[in-house]
Amino acid sequence: MSQLTPPVRNNFFDTPIEFLKGVGSQKAALLNQELSIFNFGDLIQYYPYRHEDRTIFHKITELNEQMPAAQIKGRLREWSLAGEGSKKRLVAVFSDGTGVMELVWFQSISWFEKNLRPNAEYIVYGKPIAFGNKWSITHPEIDLLTAENAHGGYWQPVYSLTEKLKRKFIDSKAISKMMRTLLEVSRPHLAETLPAELIQKYRMVSKADAVWNFHLPQSYAWLHQAQRRLKFEELFYNQFRLLKNKLLHKTEFPGLVFDKVNLVKEFYAHHLPFTLTGSQVKVLHEIHEDLKKGKQMNRLLHGDVGSGKTIVAFITMLFALDNGAQACLMAPTEILADQHYQGLKKFADSLGINIGKLTGSTKKKERDVIHRELLDGSMQIIVGTHALIEDIVQFQNLGLCIIDEQHRFGVAQRSKLWAKNSRINPHILVMTATPIPRTLAMTLYGDLDISAITELPAGRKPIRTVHKYDAHRLSVFGFLKDEINKGRQVYMVYPLIEESEKLDLKDLMDGYESVARAFPDVPLSILHGKMKSKDKDFEMQRFVKAETKIMVATTVIEVGVNVPNASVMVIENAERFGLSQLHQLRGRVGRGAEQSYCVLMTDYKISKDTRLRIETMCRTNDGFEIAEVDLQLRGPGDITGTQQSGLMDLLISNLAQDGEILKVARLCVEAILTNDPDLQQPENAPIKVHLSKLKKEQTNWSRIS
């Protein structure tokens, strides 16, 4: 194949990157390898993460220490070597007519010695630093003055690049040069992707202008407009796919009809252990409405720790059982599965329902029985871990899947559960105890209906949270003694970070010993991830039965553990926990009628972010408020974890900052799907075209990964 004739492509943007003028096969191979840029489309979507201001030239006499960077046009005088060993450097004298400064290189000295031209005119760029009365820039960016760059007046895009690329001289300058070449030939191919009406209504710039100005902005104002437009587009299509999916489920996917309510009535009348909160009742209504419709339910049940999701899950299961179907509940960890099983079994026993538990550690003999009973339908409810999605697990008639702590499961796992009923998809209820900011919920769970339990059971006192320094440990221990004397129980949690598990275990053991010394007469439990699950169970059971008073543990207790008599949560090294994790941990107490406390222990020295986390915890118990702060602190990627990355295909939008754009985009999508769900109207043609392009990109992508 000739290097010069690109193969014929249906789509201009599928053209391999080596055919871009000035790229060639060697650079192309590097771009493939280092950045997964294979074709024109990949490159044009490789947006810069910031821009440097090269609009004006500074004078040496105008420099000041506050400048993050300066651009200076001047003449290179002479240079010499200075220093020795690691201090060895090349120092060049540079003057611009107003003054003289130094340019300094510690690296690539011989290259610069060979290539710098004495008395030539250059443009340099970098952070100016004053030594005495002399200005200098270390490792400046330096370019010969040419007719093209002599006027400044531009914003330099900065691309995320690897060291290897930079060593091969593919830096941001080089990429922006390629980009200019590509943008010039791309103009006729950059079709509009949004309906004209939307562009007009929200005063957006065209697709072509946006792409051009995101890379090579004419001005700062243009850059801003370009980013706003492309973020809108990205969020618009993100929401379009999610909402279209949701619509499809509602209109096309048949669901089992659960309209009989015998067990539900009996349970309500005779076995309900407490009065449901208004929120629980409301949520159950929403669920039941879904279950009667004959369409598959896809609903998220959102409720803070302790809000009472378990009983809602159980009654939802009863709807299934009442209509001859089976129900399952999948949890991400064995401890949590066990906790759910214990909670549900109490309810189930009161109605004579056969409920089982299946996890990785279920014995073969027991496992065989469960498999058989699920298949013949005599087991009505099964609770478990991902052991449930193994192919060998077959149901007679699975009608409802409840998935707890969904964010720990991948989407693929979710759909595997679905497939367990080959005739008709079971209803899906996803439960999460992690309050999620609205913007995140709209993208992560945008294809689900959402029900939220927004109130805690009556009589709960808000947990009091305090911050204590390690030096105050004695007074904290004194407080714990008082609480234990009142009959309460205490958790003491140590961080567990996987990279340093050994160290963490040592922290935990040291902590355990110091607690044992301070409380010689108090029975203690210890719980950590390295223990056998039999031993974990044993310790957990002792604590549940109040045989032990203090539970010293790592974060394995984070999810699900329910001991209403425990009223104090002490979190050691609280600076090492994220906000949502602190909130989850705190949720282990405050589950009974007693006043509960959370004590956050830290060192004296803590960072600004840590202080904000601690202050937030001390100020509020509201999970949603905490989640918002968390989002601002950590950004969306860290909150959701990698498992959701399939849904979070956002390249340029940042949900922590772009919530407003997201809301508008979603409203636009809703309006379009209401008026023209199949995109028949001519004005919606750009959407139709772009969607099919996105779909193609996605299939290409899934073939690669």
Give the footprint of ligand ADP on this chain (CB under 6 A): 274-277, 280, 303, 305-311, 433, 457, 562, 564, 591
For the bound state, the minimum distance from the C-beta of residue 346 to ligand ADP, rounded and expressed in Å, comes to: 9
Of 227 and 280, which has the nearer Cβ to ligand ADP? 280
Smallest CA-to-CA distance from 210 within 228, 237, 236 is with 228
Query: How far, in Å, CA of 227 to CA of 233, rounded?
Result: 10
Of 322 and 404, which has the nearer Cβ to ligand ADP? 404
For the bound state, the minimum distance from the C-beta of residue 308 to ligand ADP, rounded and expressed in Å, comes to: 3
Query: How far, in Å, CA of 453 to CA of 311, rounded?
Result: 12
Pairing of the two strands 134-138 and 100-105: parallel
For the bound state, the minimum distance from the C-beta of residue 309 to ligand ADP, rounded and expressed in Å, comes to: 3
For the bound state, the minimum distance from the C-beta of residue 260 to ligand ADP, rounded and expressed in Å, comes to: 25
For the bound state, the minimum distance from the C-beta of residue 555 to ligand ADP, rounded and expressed in Å, comes to: 16
For the bound state, the minimum distance from the C-beta of residue 590 to ligand ADP, rounded and expressed in Å, comes to: 10
Of 109 and 276, which has the nearer Cβ to ligand ADP? 276
Which are the contacts of 252, defined by CB distance < 8 A and separation ≥ 6? none
Three-state secondary-structure class, residue 577: coil
Smallest CA-to-CA distance from 199 within 238, 223, 225, 222 is with 225
DSSP state of 377: T
For the bound state, the minimum distance from the C-beta of residue 320 to ligand ADP, rounded and expressed in Å, comes to: 19
Which H helix or E strand runs over 566?
strand 566-571
For the bound state, the minimum distance from the C-beta of residue 687 to ligand ADP, rounded and expressed in Å, comes to: 40
Of 268 and 701, which has the nearer Cβ to ligand ADP? 268
Of 437 and 457, which has the nearer Cβ to ligand ADP? 457
Helix/strand/coil (H/E/C) assignment for every residue in 428-491: EEEEECCCCCHHHHHHHCCCCEEEEECCCCCCCCCCEEEEEEHHHHHHHHHHHHHHHHCCCEEE
- Tokens 């045989």 map to which residue? 547
Of 562 and 620, which has the nearer Cβ to ligand ADP? 562
Q: ∠ CA(168), CA(173), CA(174), 5° rounding?
A: 45
3-state helix, strand, coil in the chain (%, to 5): 45, 20, 35
Of 269 and 392, which has the nearer Cβ to ligand ADP? 269
For the bound state, the minimum distance from the C-beta of residue 310 to ligand ADP, rounded and expressed in Å, comes to: 3
Task: Outline where 268-396 has alpha helix (H).
Answer: 278-292, 309-322, 334-350, 364-376
DSSP state of 603: -
Of 85 and 273, which has the nearer Cβ to ligand ADP? 273
Terminal CA-CA length for the chain: 27
Of 560 and 636, which has the nearer Cβ to ligand ADP? 560
Query: How far, in Å, CA of 232 to CA of 199, rounded?
Result: 10
Of 564 and 578, which has the nearer Cβ to ligand ADP? 564
Task: Outline where 493-546 has alpha helix (H).
Answer: 501-518, 533-544
Pairing of the two strands 50-54 and 154-158: antiparallel
Taking CB atoms, the residue at the shortest distance from ligand ADP is 308
For the bound state, the minimum distance from the C-beta of residue 179 to ligand ADP, rounded and expressed in Å, comes to: 51
- 447: region left, alpha or beta (phi > 0 left; psi from -120 to 50 alpha): alpha
